[in-house]
Structure formats: C-alpha cells, structure tokens
Amino acid sequence: MTTLRSFQTEIDEIHVRETAKQRALGLAEREKENKKPTSPTVGLSKDNQDDRPKEIQPDVELNNEDGVDELQDLLLSKAQSDHDKGRDLLAALLTRNKGEYIFRLGAHPPHNPLFAGDLANAKDGWIGVSRTEEEMDGLIAETIRTAEEVGGKVFVLYRHKDDRPRAALLLRLPPPSVALTPEVRCAVVGNVDSGKSTTLGVLTRGGLDDGRGRARVGLFRHKHEIESGRTSSVGMEILGFAPSGEPILPATPSSADPDVIRREKLGWEQISAQAAKIVSFSDLAGHERYLKTTLYGLTSGAPSCVILMVGANAGLIGMSKEHLAISLALSVPVVVCITKIDMTPPNILAETIKQVVKILKSPGCRKTPVFVKSTEIAVEISQTFAKERLCPIFQVSNVTGEGLDYVRTFLNLLPSSEADDEKFAADQPFEYSITEVWSVPYVGTVVNGIVNSGHIKSGDAILIGPDSTGAWTGTVVKSIQRKRAPVLTADAGQCVSFALKRVRRAAVRKGMVIVNKTDNPPKAVRRFEGQVLILYHNTTLQKNYQAMLHCGAIRQTVRIVGMDHPQGILRTGDRATVEFEFISHPEFVKEGMKLLFREGKTKGLGVITRIL
C-alpha cells in the first residue's frame, strides 16, 4: 500500500504539471485569437451579460475571522451609518462566495473535538467572539433583515443555547437564471441491496419507504429493473434546494401503485426554475455484472464526491469494497451512508460500524471516520472533508426517516462542482466531453456531457470528433439545455446537453469531444505512453495484453505494445512505463489525464505521460 500511496502522489504531480503547461498554452492561443484583453464578460451573450453578480468592494477585508466579527458588530449597532456599512459588507461577502455563505455567529468549537464528539473537554481554541443570548437574537433578526435588503435569503442551520451560545446561518442569493445555478455532482455506489435507489427515492421524492421498496420504484428506467428490483443503468436524479435552504420536494406519494409514484414527481425543469442549488445523483449499478457501467459513471461524470451505501444488516461486502477501492484510486472524496438501521439488531449494527471504521482507517484508505450525529457536525464537515481526508459517516433509516435531515443538510452545503478550478478552467479554449448520445424526434442528434473548459453559447460553430479515421466534423450548437431547462450559455464545469445541427446519430459516440471551430483541430491519438501501477493481476501481464481502458469519458479496449520492464512482464504491485494502443479507433487524450484499466479481476491505475 505504500507503493500505491507514493504512486498516487506521483501521478497527481504529473497531472498538475501537465495541466499547468496546457493551460499556459491555451491562454497564449486564446490571447492570440482575441488580440484584446480578456474581461469577465468576454463570450457572454447580451442576454446574459448582466446575469453575473457585480462584486462590491468593502472597506473591511473579509478574508479573515476579524472581518466577519466586525460585520457582526456593525449589525448589532443601532446607528444607520453602521447598518449601511454592514449591508455593503454582507453583499460583498455573498458575491465573493458566489452567492452562498455560511455565517457563523458567536464562538465556535475547533473541528477536532467537535468531530470526535468531545466538546465537554474542549475549553481552548474556540473561534470567534462570544455572544450573549440577547445579542444572538438581535444578530439573527438583523441578518435576516439586511440579507433581504440585498435580495438574499437566510436559513437558520442550527442554534445552540448552552453555556456558549452559537448559531450558523445560510445566506444565499437566488441565481439570476438556470444557466448560473450551482450544481453538485454525487455518484452513489454500493453492493446489491445496500439501499442506494431507496435512499435516493426518499431524498428526492420526500416520502418515506414502506420497507418493501416503494420509494425506489420511481427511479427505475427499465421494465426488467422494476421486476428484479435492481439497477442496471446509470440513473440520474436531482434534488433542488430553494434560496431559503429548504429541499424542493413533490407532494408525498400516498399510493403504493408504481405508476402513481412515477407520475407524482416534479420535473427537472420545475426543480431548476425554483432551485438556488441542485444536487445531481448518478445512481450506479451495484451488481458485478454491471461494473463497467459503474466504472464509466465514476470516470466520466466528474463527481465531487462518492456516496458509498452500506447495508447495516450485511456490512461492507462484495462490490462495496470494489467501489471504495476505485473511488480511492481516482482520488474522489468518499461519504459513507449506513442504511437499514431500523431493521438491524443492535449487535449487528455495531459490528458493521466497527468493520467500516477499521477499513477506513486501514493503510489503503487513510481516512478519518467522522460520525455525523448533529446538524453542527453536518455543516462543518461539508466544508472540510474533501481537503482533510475525513470521511463522514451517516446512519439512516428510509422507513423511519432517522438521519435523513443530516444528509440533506450536508448535501445542501457542499461546494459546487463547477467551482473546482483544478478540474475546470473558465479561461481556457472551449472543450466538452460527450457522455451520452440520443436521437430526439423533430430535434435531431442530442449529446449530453461536461464542459471541461471555456464557455459556449447557442449558435456557436464547433468541431466534433475524432471519428473512426481521426477526422473532425464541423457543425453548430442549435440549442442548449441544463437539467432539461433551456439556457443560452454554458460554462466550465457544467453538465449540459447540446442539440447539434445536421449531424447523424450514428456519427457520434461516447468519448468524443467538442471544441471551438478552428483551422487547426486537435490531434486524434492512436498510441500513447503512461506511468502505470498494476493493482491486481493473478498471473503475469505481457506485451499484446488487452484490457478495457477508462479515461474520462473514454471507454475503449487498448493493447499493450511495449513496456520498460527488464523482463517484459508485469505482476501485481509492479510499476512501469507502458505504451498503449487503442484497438478500435483513435481518441482525444492529453498528457496528465488519469487512466484506469481492467479486464476480469485485473486492475491498473496510471497517468498519460506522452502522446506518441
């Protein structure tokens, strides 16, 4: 496992270095094309130029706790001049944080004792200025009034009235349009019958389960899924949160009839129109037979986190371990959700918790488990778990509803996926990965995917490719939809659908990319070199060995045509520089892209180091 840890650090360094090089080249190319200084509104349509919030420059620096403490003092002041200054600071705070901010009132405990559930002994290290109950009442009322003046909404996340009064408020600005609504992408994985679809059904529909799978019926897309009760495809579900912080849910289904449950749900466009934040779930298959579908969902969907479902009655078994290993290999933050706690005997539940903690603390995971047993822990860990190698553990029951409020609070506060500047670059030339393709009557070919970089608007001329010969085809984006709602523009990090002009469905496949129309289209690659680590192989891996490669939205069989190993063979735990060749057709890959290849139980992890 030491080898895996050092290898992951090494491939992360290669990824960062190559990405920095490509971004520097991309900026140079963009400046060359524009021949004018870039501004925040370059490339925006006139309709959307005023959509982005204007940043207000405050007199007090707000990047530290002192600025926030001074804002609280201004809000408590009775002077009109202080109120006006506080209003400007609050507006600046919201715009700097892209329309969403957790405003902590009073002195707050340090994270370590809070997460360990040991606040009784935490005397030192509290952050912020202590407030009395009267001051807290005044602060909450004044914050609500001031936020409404600047067009924002306030939601009280929690309030403690003990010897150290404290509270946390969610300040949120309604987005100007669906095109700018922040989105969080979560992949939901776990073994068969661990409660993935049921939990998603309860979270997104609002009604509790009946203990016999009523909640999950509305999520199934195929007849055989309803009959077997098992997911075989990548199902997409969304949960919207209103500007007030409340989840947007339909009326609770009162009927057990599957057809009624499927009808009694809000459409995506209805949720998008009301939401200030959208959480998108990829409900991935748990059965081993559909592992390649699950793998594709994890590599192509660019999730912000993986939610690993563990049935309390069965424990962390079978494919759950495989899904956890893949998530760790891809360096995606993991959240554990232990389900079915209502039907599991206490001794079995204790065994499951003990097993989960042991695996998370093992050298292969190196995660610190944190049990989310209060809203305060859910609020604080949502902001820190990805950076600090923490793993939140929720214990929920979809029948009684226990623990679900903590999960919703956590999801509501997760940082948006498009805000990740390391993954998505807004100042680069446009690039879009295709993950789904459809043919829609009276519309034509429609593609769905993620904008990796840049910006696009409806009517732009684009290139799509590479095809089986490595060529690129010119076309036009007829229209754009985001969560089934029409939008005029799309930015880096967003998951959107394009209707393409005069392109046959058969000419488009998953893994293709779309770029801006230029005289020099990107190069299609047939061979490339990568640094790889063999995670598992039961014999020896030699030249001409074939495996399924997953690299972003690309899923294709590759052949090993060369390796730098002295014996010309690789075993479990070996590291090598390997030369790969795509079997079927060339693809668009770049140096620094992470890859995962598998065949049967064989698994390998790596990074592309050279295009050949």
- Note the pLDDT tens digit of each residue in 524-555: 999 999 999 998 899 999 999 999 999 999 99
Most confident of 1-10, 126-135, 196-205, 500-509: 500-509
For domain 2-24+524-611, give its CATH number from 3.20.20.70, 3.40.50.300, 2.40.10.10, 2.40.30.10.
2.40.30.10
- Give residue-wise pLDDT tens across range 332-348: 999 999 999 999 999 99
For residue 58, name the pLDDT band (cuts at 50, 70, 90).
Answer: very low
Using alpha carbons only, how large is the chain's radius of gyration in Å?
Answer: 25
Most confident of 46-50, 261-265, 349-353, 564-568: 349-353
Output the pLDDT for position 37. Answer: 47
For residue 212, name the pLDDT band (cuts at 50, 70, 90).
Answer: low
Helix (H, G, I), strand (E, B) or coil at 328: helix
196 or 558: whose pLDDT is higher?
Answer: 558
For domain 178-419, give its CATH number from 2.40.128.20, 3.20.20.70, 3.50.80.10, 3.40.50.300.
3.40.50.300
The mean predicted confidence, pLDDT, of the chain is 85
- Give residue-wise pLDDT tens across range 145-175: 999 999 999 999 999 987 789 999 999 999 9
Output the pLDDT for position 591. Answer: 94
Contact 272, 482 (CB under 8 A): yes
**Which residue's entry shows tokens 């004044």?**
142
Q: Is the omega angle on the peptide bond into residue 363 within 30 degrees of 0, that is, cis?
A: no
Cross-strand partners of 309: 190, 337
In eight-state DSSP terms, residue 177 is S
374 or 386: whose pLDDT is higher?
Answer: 374
Whole-angstrom distance, CA of residue 142 vs CA of residue 163: 23
Domain boundaries, the chain: 2-24+524-611, 65-172, 178-419, 431-516
For residue 66, name the pLDDT band (cuts at 50, 70, 90).
Answer: very low
For residue 600, name the pLDDT band (cuts at 50, 70, 90).
Answer: confident
Percent of the chain with pLDDT over 70: 86
546 or 39: whose pLDDT is higher?
Answer: 546
Burial class (CB in 10 A: 0-12, 13-18, 19+), 325: middle
Q: What is the mean pLDDT of residues 349-368?
A: 92
For residue 53, name the pLDDT band (cuts at 50, 70, 90).
Answer: very low
Q: Would you state the structure tokens that stand for residue 211, as one six-digit string?
A: 């203990």
The yes-or-no verdict on residue 46 having pLDDT over 60 is no
Whole-angstrom distance, CA of residue 38 vs CA of residue 34: 8
Q: Do domains 2-24+524-611 and 178-419 have the same CATH topology?
A: no
Output the pLDDT for position 299. Answer: 85
Whole-angstrom distance, CA of residue 286 vs CA of residue 87: 50
User: Of the candidates 279, 277, 271, which has an alpha carbon nearest to the alpha carbon of residue 186?
Assistant: 279
CATH class of 431-516: mainly beta
pTM value?
Answer: 0.88
